[in-house]
Amino acid sequence: MKKLFRRKSVKIFAVTICAVIVIASVSYFCYPFLSSGINMITNGLSQVTAEVSENLNKSSYNELLEENKKLSEENAKLREQAADYYDLKEENDRLWKFYNIKKENPTYTYVPSTVIRRDSNADFYSFTIDAGTSLGISVNDPVITENGLVGIVSECDTSSSKVKTILSPEIKIGAADSKTKDSGVISGSSRYCDDNLTMLTKISSENKISQGDIIKTSGVGGLFPADIIIGEVKEFSYDDYDVSKFTVIEPYEDIRKVSSVLVITDFNTKGQISLEKSDNSSNTSKSAKETTATEKTTAEKPE
């Protein structure tokens, strides 16, 4: 509206209208014989006014359309910028969390990755990530988030990997109670997986585990680093078949909804226990062979 009154043509038109009104008033009261002439002029001006008004309305309408178009484009840009901002913020938060994990475990080698696919038909909430062998990932690598253990790499190719979660009964991970040190094996179950729960099985009958205790990886076997948080003890239960006791574990991560993970590709104790066992077996075998050879030599000596 302000732009409308700034136009020179509009100003001239307004002055003309005012002049006509003044002349008409004077003529009506002082010179009646001029009123007929004035009427002719005012009638003409009325028509002109109507035409000008129509043109102005058209002009204003077009201006409004143009202005509305510009505003719509600006809003679209702002929405896009806001979406980019939240994506960057989320990525920044994720990287900071991963940085903290790296800071706490400097001997680990990590590959950050994103969940790119979940198979709706897959049991136990397995998923596929956007990183594979080209980044150093291999089968059996542990998969974690900032909240704890998620699962293990079960298959991988150059650019992607499939992860089986700790909700699956196919997973067997050595674990222990961080307070009592009672040990067992983490393994999932169809009975609990839909509630984001797993189990700590093969625990001793004399265990001192309590509800609320924190369960971590034990590191036994050299496949997983020790002390990766898994979850906490939710309740105790018994197996329906062999009546053995187990604990129900609630992971600190909602594995059903996880969207980004870290794959641990290397750590300082990787395969250490397995190698130690292999070395011990070799040494035992070697000693046995030496003993046998000594005994044979002794037996062959003449008396």
Query: pLDDT digits over 86-124, tens only?
Result: 656 565 666 656 667 777 778 889 899 999 999 777 779
The answer to which of 106-120, 139-153, 204-218, 223-237 has the lowest mean pLDDT is 106-120
Q: Give the chain's length.
A: 303
Pairing of strands 214-217, 198-201: unpaired
pLDDT score of 185: 95
Q: What is the DSSP letter of 63?
A: H
Q: Tell whether the model's pLDDT for residue 212 goes beyond 80.
A: yes
Average pLDDT over residues 182-210: 93
- The predicted-structure confidence for 123-165, as pLDDT tens digits, reads as follows 799 999 999 999 999 999 999 998 999 999 999 999 999 999 9
pLDDT at position 288: 42
pLDDT at res. 270: 79
Every domain of the chain and the residues it spans? 2-62, 74-104, 109-274
**Contact 79/88 with Cβ under 8 angstroms?**
no
Burial call 43-77: b when 16+ CB within 10 Å, e when fewer: eebeeeeeeeeeeeeeeeeeeeeeeeeeeeeeeee
pLDDT at 252 over 50: yes
Region 172-195 average pLDDT = 94
For residue 178, which amino acid is it? Answer: S
Angstrom distances, CA of residue 25 to CA of 19, 37, 38, 86, 98: 10, 13, 10, 67, 85
Instruction: For domain 109-274, give the fold.
Output: Thrombin, subunit H (2.40.10)
Whether the per-residue pLDDT at 213 is higher than 60: the answer is yes
Whole-number pLDDT of residue 114: 92
- Kindly report the average pLDDT of the chain as a whole number: 76
